[in-house]
Structure 1
């Protein structure tokens, strides 16, 4: 199908002879089609062939805001309200109906943050929740206890194993282990902030032993105090629960507001920390060093038994 030059030179000037509404609509839709990935493009072209050009079914593919309730694609994916989560943009995913739309949004990203929570960690542990956050602050909490292996088969495994999506993490050793042994997922292409901070500190302070820093410490270092303090306060509340050895709290459904806040924060804070650290680690040496140590983090527990907290990281 071809277009005349008058279509490409269309102006909003009302004094100019107007093009038909149909031609304007077709031009707009085709421009948008050029930005779509293959799967959505194929669906949209099928709609055009069937005479559905410009209908809500077609234009839904162009709206990428998962919070947009006018988009039919978002019917089953609803943001948690303030009664269930203190933060905006957090979505609880516990049904197969929600997975296709959720993964279609995630797949448009280049950098995501990732974490998981388990009833028990280790080779015989049990994953209860997987958290993924986007750069725009949207957070998806995948209820693995409810969905089981289906959530990995539907797309989460591909995302976690992919070289396309950079996964920002903090100390991914146990996460990598439990994913591999319990769900046959080989976590890949990560940016581990624990390692990255250690390298940055070593560059600044010289050849001194660098210990492993916890996420709470990095939150204090890299996030403005007014925001970091709120995150740390929630961490302390949950720490009191964990002190009693109550990891069974992750089995509770519905999960309490405090635990949802805690889970969401674990991935929300990773993006600003990454944005603070990554620009300072761009030399060829830095990149080689990080690749080597990220790989070591991913394989640390997979095939051996090691102490979780070695004295020094580098």
Structure 2
């Protein structure tokens, strides 16, 4: 099954109206903390190792390139303000972070945020903490904006302790992604490549970052937003089916039958009572298929995950979600 195209975005590359790194053509890019290449978190030796180990053949979409419009935001003068203004007008966004040892003790390099029509790649390594003080914190803490994330534990830990950002209104796709029939929505290998594209986190600190990797960042954010829509359709399938039947109850009946029905708001129609029957049948089936603990709750089956091989010199195991093999 082919991965569905994301029709809301044009399928050609516009590298964010040209990033500041491209405009400077290799000029020194500095953050509030100084030269990014001298970061105490990622040494020059580790960055060179990441660059040497980078293989474009291992990137997703090499054979059939999937390209997406994205905007690299690495300066405040022209790009940052319009990007934040656009995000503040949204109801649903996807949020992904990339870095090394991503938690309160690690280092955040990129923050990818996608909407229905735009993908923004915020270069936190270059922008530094002012990026959150000047607008991103307002977006991430807005209770009226749903933030779609995949395993929000470590990124929320990083944002709270390093940048004072308290995430609210989060939809985490990790749990429903496991228990929905996701094989019918996406091709497994493609999703795994996009959600876990690079196993060497030092790669994300290369500056300028190769355009192929910027594409990976953008695609991850784009597909996460698309995954949310598919999961919601899957989770709400029972309710939408009953509503559809409820909607057609009267209009498909004959006039003689409707004349014998006395409208009342005190009694639920059979279409809505069916929902309770469906839940009862599922509960009975679950009791047969799974064990129950002493509290009367179903014991979840153990899911085997693909463990990645830690990189040389890495002190923290990336605890993000890896997909089980077919």
Give the paired residue count.
188
Q: What TM-score do you get using the length of structure 1 for normalisation? A: 0.52
Distance 2:202 2:124 in 1: 14
Q: C-alpha offsets along residues 196-232 of structure 1, whole Å, 9 cap, x if unaligned?
A: 334646xxxxxxxxxxxxxxxx5x5523x4xx76565
Q: Residue 251 and residue 309 in structure 1: after superposition, are their counterparts in 2 closer, same or farther (change >3 A)?
A: closer
Q: Is the 8 A contact 2:100 2:202 kept in 1?
A: yes
CA distance in 1, matches of 2:320, 2:119: 29
Matches within 5 A, 1:38-187: 78=17, 87-97=67-77, 98-136=79-117, 138-187=118-167
Which of the residues 222, 229, 237 maps onto 2:185?
A: 222
Q: What residue is the counterpart of 2:222 in the other structure?
A: 268
Query: Between Structure 1 and Structure 2, which shows a larger proportion of helix residues?
Result: 1
In structure 1, stretches of 5+ residues that fail to align are 1-66, 68-76, 202-217, 287-306
Structure 2 contact 97–111 (Cα < 8 Å) conserved: yes
SS in 2 for 1:269: helix
Task: Note the alpha carbon deviations across 1:158-189, whole angstroms, 9 max, x for none.
Answer: 11111111011111111111111111111111
Secondary structure of the 2:165 match is coil
Task: Determine if contact 1:125/1:182 at 8 Å carries over to the other structure.
Answer: no
TM-score normalised by the chain length of structure 2: 0.50
Give the drift of 1:247. 2.3
CA distance in 2 between partners of 1:266 and 1:88 (Å): 11
Residues of 2 paired with 1:233 and 1:199: CA distance? Answer: 20
Closer, same or farther in 2 for the Cα pair 1:87/1:250, shift >3 Å?
A: same
How far apart are 1:195 and its partner, in Å?
2.1
- SS for the counterpart of 1:92 is strand
Distance 1:234 1:279 in 2: 21
Q: Is the 8 A contact 2:68 2:219 kept in 1?
A: no
SS at match of 1:88: coil
Q: Does the 8 Å CA contact 1:234/1:258 hold for their aligned counterparts?
A: no
